[in-house]
Amino acid sequence: MIICSCTVMTRDQLSATVRALLAEDPQMIVTPGRAFHRLGLRMQCARCATLVNEKIAEEVRRPRPDTPPPRP
């Protein structure tokens, strides 16, 4: 699925990028700008910004096998 039609960024590319950024620093705040920069892209018209933010949030909330579960 294409997330950004200006740059032809796909959902899979965005998810992989968010996972890579979080692998480097699990406490990182992943922003659309950071994700675009990592992919070597630049946001152009910004119509995709809301969708990109939603997909980043979904990926950040996804459980990671390398992190311990939260304490009660």
CA-closest candidate to residue 44, choices 6, 1, 2: 6
Chain centroid to CA 5: 16
Contact assessment for residue 11 and residue 55, using Cβ atoms and an 8 Å cutoff: yes
Q: Please state the pTM of the whole predicted model.
A: 0.84
Task: Tell how many helices (H) and how many strands (E) occur in the chain.
Answer: 3, 2
One digit per residue, the tens of pLDDT, for the chain of length 72 reads 999 999 999 999 999 999 999 999 988 999 999 999 999 999 999 999 999 999 999 999 988 776 666 666
- For residue 72, the model assigns a pLDDT of 66
Contact assessment for residue 28 and residue 17, using Cβ atoms and an 8 Å cutoff: no
